């Protein structure tokens, strides 16, 4: 009996150590991403993203590394996750639309953004549903639904079934995958078709 209890204790302790190690590794990885982005992003030229043309083709990874910060590249191309509450748009309350950082394809609107308390920008529905694709994600011992942009194939984040709207969805995204276009600049960057979103009465 004593031996069995000892074996059970050792097994439980081993599992706890493994789970702790995995959690710490993820935290350390994301911390390094944030630190790297601060150091490499300061001297990185900010690329102005305009609405994509019909014949747009995603640049290769080597070219993208020249225009994106390390964090932006790791999130969009390597499926990394940025840290909550320490990203660009989690608390952004300005009116406008959110587009893919690489292609410029329109994805979400501030009209559908809400405070989820997660520390990441969250939306109830896409602005252009056809530009957002879903993929099963079985990483980190869980089953989730990943969302990606259709044309750039950027990792955006995940969608969950605990949202406040009638559809019950919460699109939890990485700021690093997005570029925000204020409503005052929609026409300037080729998104004039979405100005109706912010007209009075809408």
* Among candidate residues 170, 146, 144, 142, the one with its CA nearest the CA of residue 157: 146
* Among candidate residues 117, 15, 100, 120, the one with its CA nearest the CA of residue 52: 100
Q: Identify the three-state secondary structure at position 150.
A: coil
71-104 burial string, b = 16+ CB within 10 Å, else e? bbbbbbbeebbbbeeebebbebeeebbbbbbbbb
Q: What is the CA radius of gyration of the chain?
A: 20
**C-alpha span between 167 and 72 (Å, rounded):** 30
Two tokens, residue 144: 């989730």
Handedness of CA 26, 28, 31, 36 (dihedral sign): negative
Among 172, 176, 178, 186, the active-site one is: 172
DSSP lists the bridge partners of residue 173 as 157
**Known active-site residue 155:** no
The residues annotated as belonging to the active site are 172
């Amino acid at each position: 009996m004593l031996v069995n209890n000892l074996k059970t204790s050792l097994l439980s302790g081993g599992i706890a150590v493994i789970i702790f190690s995995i959690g710490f590794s993820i935290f350390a990885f994301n911390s390094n991403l944030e630190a790297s982005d601060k150091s490499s992003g300061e001297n990185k030229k900010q690329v102005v993203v305009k609405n994509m043309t019909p014949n747009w083709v995603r640049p290769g990874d080597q070219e993208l590394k020249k225009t994106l910060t390390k964090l932006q590249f790791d999130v969009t191309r390597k499926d990394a996750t940025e840290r909550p509450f320490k990203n660009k748009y989690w608390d952004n309350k300005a009116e406008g639309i959110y587009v893919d950082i690489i292609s410029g394809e329109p994805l979400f609107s501030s009209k559908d953004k809400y405070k989820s308390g997660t520390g990441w920008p969250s939306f109830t529905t896409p602005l252009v549903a056809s530009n957002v694709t879903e993929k099963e994600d079985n990483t980190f011992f869980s089953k989730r639904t990943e969302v990606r942009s259709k044309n750039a194939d950027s990792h955006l984040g995940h969608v969950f079934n605990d949202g406040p709207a009638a559809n019950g969805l919460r699109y939890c995204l990485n700021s690093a995958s997005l570029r925000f276009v204020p409503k005052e600049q929609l026409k300037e960057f080729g998104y004039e078709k979405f100005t109706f979103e912010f007209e009075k009465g809408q």
